[in-house]
Amino acid sequence: MNHRFQCRCGALSGHLSQPHRALRGVCYCKDCRAYAHHLGVAAWTHDMLGGAEFVAAQAEHVSFTSGIEHLACLSLTDKGLLRWYANCCNTPICNTARNWKVPYVGLIGACLKTDPVAFERSFPRLQMRVNTRSARQAPPPMRWSTVVSLARLMSRVMLSSINERYRQTPFFDQGGAPVVAVRVLAAACRTGAHGSG
């Protein structure tokens, strides 16, 4: 079974295979909020506590089916996560590590929930909350579930690195370079975005 994702305007779309194997969580980090504020989309990507829902998967399970020309990439710093979005409407799509040998993909809930019923059918219930110290208020605790879920995720990522399945990715070419140019935020823009969050 595949789960479809798309940007807000529908120009870019794709699917995640084996969604039942993905891990579902909420991230409360200040960087995710700053990124959303920079794109001007925080009002519909983050909840009242400053958390953004995401689904953790492996890059080999992500495919784009249309609008790949709208895929863009931004990073808050020259060493930070690669944050992929649709430049047609600034919809956040996912985050990846800079190193393609770490084939983790954090798909953002905003692009996965075009059909909320299908979303709940495709993915497990919420399994983890991360970076909770940066939340605007303390979210409900999920400490043990979070630890178990992160351990499962890391074991899968490590296996993909060992068996070279990391090469099956739509985000990097076969030399390990991002498929689009990465734009790094200027310091002033980064400070302003963090101040908004």
HSE-CB for 192 with a 13 A CA cutoff: 9
pTM metric for this prediction: 0.91
Res 159: pLDDT: 77
Number of domains in the chain: 1
Res 1: pLDDT: 86
Which range of residues forms the domain containing residue 86?
2-196
Give the integer Cα–Cα distance in Å for 87 and 68.
10
Sheet with 62-66, edge to edge strand ranges: 2-6, 13-17, 62-66
Tokens read off for 160? 């993909």
Res 197: pLDDT: 62
Could you tell me if 16 and 2 are in contact, meaning their C-beta atoms sit under 8 angstroms apart? yes
Res 76: pLDDT: 97
Res 2: pLDDT: 96
| CATH code, domain carrying 172 | 2.170.150.70
| Cα dihedral: 52, 58, 61, 62 (round 10) | 50
In order along its 197 residues, the chain shows pLDDT tens digits of 899 999 999 999 999 999 998 999 999 999 999 999 999 999 999 999 999 999 999 999 999 999 999 999 999 999 999 999 999 999 999 999 999 999 999 999 999 998 999 999 999 999 989 999 999 999 988 777 777 777 877 787 777 777 788 899 999 999 999 999 999 998 888 888 887 66
